[in-house]
Amino acid sequence: MGAWPQLRESRTVRPGGAAGTAAGTVVRCGLMDAMLADLAVSVVYFFREPLDEQRLADGLARALEQIPVFGGRLRTTEAAGGDVLEIVCDGSGVPMDSYDVDETLAEAMSRVTLPGAELVDHVRASEARGGGLPLLTVRLSRLADGGTALGLSWHHALGDVQTFMLLMRAWSAAVEGLRLPEVELVADHDAYLDRVLPPEDCGRPGFRLPGPEEAELLAREVAFSVRANRTVQVYFSEAETERMRQAFIEAAGRKLSTSDVLCAHVVCTIRELDDDAEARELTVPVNVRRPLDLPATVVGNLLSEIHLDCAGGAAPERLAVELREAVEDFTASHLNLRANIRFLEAIGRDRLGDCAPLGFDPARRRLTFSNWSRFGAYEISFGGRRPVFFSPAANLQLPWVSWMVEGFEGTGSLFTVVLPTRLAGRLRSAEGRAALHRHRSDQDPLPPLAEAVRKLA
């Protein structure tokens, strides 16, 4: 027997039919797509049971008919003012590799955020911009106790988490023999936004042009990210979260969401454990479909951000209130998609590659919080098999980045955060766990898988 994992089968899944009804479609990427075009997003689904791999492949082929960008390739074309990135829906397909892995379900789940976990074939995002490389990869790992890990990586230029979940719903429906969801492909993303955006927005762009010294620092952070940082996952049960939410509501005197409360609690706890009393900033990406009353079926990166000032030593319920107020007043006070375009026009589109998002500012410990909850991560099924765990997977371990999604079997909340190694260790320590779970009761039931996963804070 060779070293684990062992490759069992490799195939390329292409759209059924010629390439679906959108065969030959070319999608012109927008500014936000281009800003994210050096990034891949990688996730893993875990199932207790084996999955029928042929049914999976056949279902994915049908899903790629519905959302052909995932089976296409990128290309760069010359245009006035700078090059333009395009997605060519040519049916080139998606690599789907099947492995045998000598790990149990709990062991694989415990390693999902480690760079060497080998549960995902990460899309080579920067290289894929030149064409010829896949924009979605699928890796099936058959685990030692009969479970399955389904690792997926997609090129961020294709779309946001909403777009990815459209693919997953289409894939699930195809495998289950159900009607596939409606999907809306937009031929030109910036032109589409120009038609639906209000004439004016907050006026503050969501990215900046670093000077040479800062650009060198940011490049160094990326180059050494795997060695310098660690990923911590924290599970908050439903009872614990509701107890926390009610305490925050009582202290704040107003309604707050679970997202407001957990974000504020974790951010303030990290700062407390880091002995950090300085003024900081928080960035929260926002899916603009809902505030702009756009269809949930639109494919692409329909994202803007909230940027909040975080005073040193502020109470967590105060931050939760500020986040809630920012969400409620998002369109008037934080929407910045027109500001982004105007900023790029001012510096020249050819300088886009020199820009950095405001949210990536590790020197100032600026934390970014992405809420993936309520996108339907646990609503899919393949042959009646439903996931028991869904998690981001290690790709670039950039510090001060966090995500939240539903926890084990869709219950509670799983908070994933990447931090410098020393601080990550403090979160995992007894002191860190006590601070993170100060609202937990000894009587709160925890899912058995939560107790089985190692290093869960």
pLDDT band per the 50, 70, 90 thresholds, residue 19: very low
Q: Phi, psi (5° rounding) for residue 381?
A: -150, 150
Closest CA to 418 of 27, 114, 10, 60: 114
3-state secondary structure of 284: strand
Which percentage of the chain shows pLDDT scores above 90?
A: 91
Identify the structural domains of the chain with CATH numbers, from first to last: 6-194 (3.30.559.10), 206-374+397-452 (3.30.559.10)
8 A C-beta contact, residue 39 and residue 125? yes
DSSP state of 36: T
| Whether the predicted pLDDT of 205 surpasses 50 | yes
For residue 335, give Cα distances in angstroms to 159, 326, 329, 332, 355: 18, 10, 9, 7, 19
| Whether the predicted pLDDT of 433 surpasses 50 | yes
Q: What is the per-residue pLDDT for 174?
A: 98
pLDDT band per the 50, 70, 90 thresholds, residue 1: very low
- Neighbour tally for 203: CB within 10 Å: 11
pLDDT band per the 50, 70, 90 thresholds, residue 2: low
How does pLDDT run across 113-159, given as a tens digit for each residue?
A: 999 899 999 999 999 998 999 999 999 999 999 999 999 999 999 99
Mean per-residue pLDDT for 368-376?
97
3-state secondary structure of 35: helix
pTM to 2 decimals? 0.96
Mean per-residue pLDDT for 98-115?
96
3-state secondary structure of 416: strand
pLDDT band per the 50, 70, 90 thresholds, residue 4: confident
Mean per-residue pLDDT for 92-97?
98
8 A C-beta contact, residue 272 and residue 435? yes
Q: What value does the CA radius of gyration of the chain take, rounded to a whole number of Å? A: 22
| Whether the predicted pLDDT of 366 surpasses 90 | yes
Q: What is the per-residue pLDDT for 452?
A: 87
Q: Phi, psi (5° rounding) for residue 375?
A: -95, -5
| Whether the predicted pLDDT of 16 surpasses 90 | no
Mean per-residue pLDDT for 403-431?
97
| Whether the predicted pLDDT of 405 surpasses 60 | yes
pLDDT band per the 50, 70, 90 thresholds, residue 234: very high
Q: Give one DSSP letter per residue of 135-194, joined into a string.
A: SEEEEEEE-TTS-EEEEEEEEGGG--HHHHHHHHHHHHHHHHTPPPPP-B--SBHHHHHH
Which percentage of the chain shows pLDDT scores above 70?
A: 97
Mean per-residue pLDDT for 226-231?
95
How does pLDDT run across 50-74, given as a tens digit for each residue?
A: 999 999 999 999 999 999 999 999 9
Mean per-residue pLDDT for 363-380?
97
